[in-house]
Protein backbone atom coordinates (compact mmCIF):
# COMPACT_ATOMS: atom_id res chain seq x y z
CA UNK A 1 0.00 0.00 0.00
CA UNK A 2 1.23 3.48 -0.84
CA UNK A 3 2.56 5.37 2.19
CA UNK A 4 1.12 8.87 1.72
CA UNK A 5 2.74 10.35 4.82
CA UNK A 6 5.94 11.54 3.04
CA UNK A 7 3.81 13.12 0.31
CA UNK A 8 1.66 14.86 2.92
CA UNK A 9 4.80 16.07 4.74
CA UNK A 10 6.27 17.54 1.54
CA UNK A 11 2.94 19.20 0.74
CA UNK A 12 2.74 20.71 4.22
CA UNK A 13 6.27 22.14 3.85
CA UNK A 14 5.62 24.19 0.70
CA UNK A 15 4.20 27.68 0.39
CA UNK A 16 0.40 27.51 0.44
CA UNK A 17 -1.25 27.44 -2.96
CA UNK A 18 -2.75 28.68 -5.24
CA UNK A 19 0.29 29.32 -7.35
CA UNK A 20 -0.01 31.28 -10.58
CA UNK A 21 1.31 31.03 -14.12
CA UNK A 22 2.63 34.26 -15.58
CA UNK A 23 4.55 35.51 -18.60
CA UNK A 24 8.01 37.03 -18.21
CA UNK A 25 7.75 40.35 -20.04
CA UNK A 26 10.75 41.42 -22.10
CA UNK A 27 12.09 37.96 -22.90
CA UNK A 28 12.29 36.64 -26.42
CA UNK A 29 10.71 34.21 -26.79
CA UNK A 30 8.28 34.99 -23.99
CA UNK A 31 9.06 32.77 -21.01
CA UNK A 32 6.53 31.18 -18.69
CA UNK A 33 7.03 31.27 -14.93
CA UNK A 34 5.22 30.08 -11.84
CA UNK A 35 4.75 32.54 -8.98
CA UNK A 36 3.63 32.14 -5.37
CA UNK A 37 1.67 35.23 -4.35
CA UNK A 38 1.22 33.92 -0.78
CA UNK A 39 4.94 33.38 -0.06
CA UNK A 40 6.18 35.20 3.10
CA UNK A 41 9.13 36.75 1.20
CA UNK A 42 6.92 38.27 -1.46
CA UNK A 43 8.34 41.26 -3.37
CA UNK A 44 6.83 43.63 -5.87
CA UNK A 45 7.92 43.39 -9.50
CA UNK A 46 8.19 46.37 -11.88
CA UNK A 47 4.81 45.35 -13.30
CA UNK A 48 3.27 45.64 -9.81
CA UNK A 49 2.93 41.90 -9.23
CA UNK A 50 3.67 40.79 -5.69
CA UNK A 51 5.05 37.27 -5.67
CA UNK A 52 8.00 34.91 -5.44
CA UNK A 53 9.08 32.98 -8.52
CA UNK A 54 9.01 29.21 -8.17
CA UNK A 55 10.58 28.61 -11.55
CA UNK A 56 11.06 30.51 -14.77
CA UNK A 57 12.68 30.17 -18.13
CA UNK A 58 10.24 27.66 -19.54
CA UNK A 59 10.30 27.99 -23.30
CA UNK A 60 9.43 25.77 -26.22
CA UNK A 61 6.18 24.29 -27.49
CA UNK A 62 5.06 22.89 -24.10
CA UNK A 63 5.98 25.88 -21.93
CA UNK A 64 2.39 26.74 -21.03
CA UNK A 65 1.51 23.13 -20.24
CA UNK A 66 4.61 22.74 -18.06
CA UNK A 67 3.91 25.94 -16.14
CA UNK A 68 0.23 25.02 -15.65
CA UNK A 69 1.21 21.56 -14.40
CA UNK A 70 3.64 22.99 -11.82
CA UNK A 71 1.27 25.74 -10.71
CA UNK A 72 -1.62 23.29 -10.18
CA UNK A 73 0.43 20.47 -8.64
CA UNK A 74 -0.20 21.37 -4.97
CA UNK A 75 -3.98 21.50 -5.39
CA UNK A 76 -3.99 18.37 -7.54
CA UNK A 77 -1.97 16.49 -4.91
CA UNK A 78 -4.42 17.54 -2.18
CA UNK A 79 -7.30 16.22 -4.29
CA UNK A 80 -5.50 12.95 -5.04
CA UNK A 81 -4.64 12.39 -1.36
CA UNK A 82 -8.28 13.02 -0.41
CA UNK A 83 -9.39 10.45 -2.99
CA UNK A 84 -6.88 7.90 -1.68
CA UNK A 85 -8.21 8.45 1.85
CA UNK A 86 -11.84 8.15 0.68
CA UNK A 87 -11.14 4.87 -1.11
CA UNK A 88 -9.17 3.50 1.85
CA UNK A 89 -12.12 4.30 4.12
CA UNK A 90 -14.41 2.42 1.76
CA UNK A 91 -12.03 -0.53 1.70
CA UNK A 92 -11.92 -0.67 5.49
CA UNK A 93 -15.71 -0.47 5.67
CA UNK A 94 -16.13 -3.11 2.96
CA UNK A 95 -13.79 -5.51 4.75
CA UNK A 96 -15.70 -5.10 8.01
CA UNK A 97 -19.05 -5.50 6.21
CA UNK A 98 -18.06 -8.65 4.36
CA UNK A 99 -18.31 -10.69 7.53
CA UNK A 100 -21.81 -9.51 8.37
CA UNK A 101 -23.35 -8.64 5.01
CA UNK A 102 -22.25 -11.28 2.53
CA UNK A 103 -20.85 -10.92 -0.97
CA UNK A 104 -23.83 -9.09 -2.51
CA UNK A 105 -23.50 -6.40 0.16
CA UNK A 106 -19.78 -6.12 -0.61
CA UNK A 107 -20.43 -5.71 -4.34
CA UNK A 108 -22.91 -2.91 -3.61
CA UNK A 109 -20.41 -1.17 -1.31
CA UNK A 110 -17.69 -1.31 -3.96
CA UNK A 111 -20.09 0.01 -6.60
CA UNK A 112 -20.96 2.94 -4.32
CA UNK A 113 -17.26 3.65 -3.72
CA UNK A 114 -16.46 3.63 -7.42
CA UNK A 115 -19.36 5.97 -8.14
CA UNK A 116 -17.79 8.56 -5.82
CA UNK A 117 -20.06 8.24 -2.79
CA UNK A 118 -18.73 9.83 0.40
CA UNK A 119 -16.90 7.53 2.77
CA UNK A 120 -19.08 5.67 5.24
CA UNK A 121 -18.46 5.88 8.96
CA UNK A 122 -16.19 3.02 9.97
CA UNK A 123 -17.35 1.33 13.16
Kindly report, residue by residue over 96-119, the tens digit of the pLDDT: 776 666 666 667 777 777 777 777
pLDDT higher than threshold 60 for residue 89? yes
The model's pTM is 0.69
Mean pLDDT across 28-36: 73
pLDDT higher than threshold 70 for residue 47? no
pLDDT at 43: 67
Establish whether the linkage from the previous residue to 29 is cis, with ω within 30° of 0: yes
Mean pLDDT across 64-71: 84
Is the alpha carbon torsion for 66, 72, 73, 77 positive or negative? negative
Establish whether the linkage from the previous residue to 12 is cis, with ω within 30° of 0: no
Amino acid sequence: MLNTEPIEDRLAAITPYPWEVCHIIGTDPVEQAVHMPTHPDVTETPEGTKSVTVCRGMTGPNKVAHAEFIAHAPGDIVALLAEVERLRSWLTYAKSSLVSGGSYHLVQLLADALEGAPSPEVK
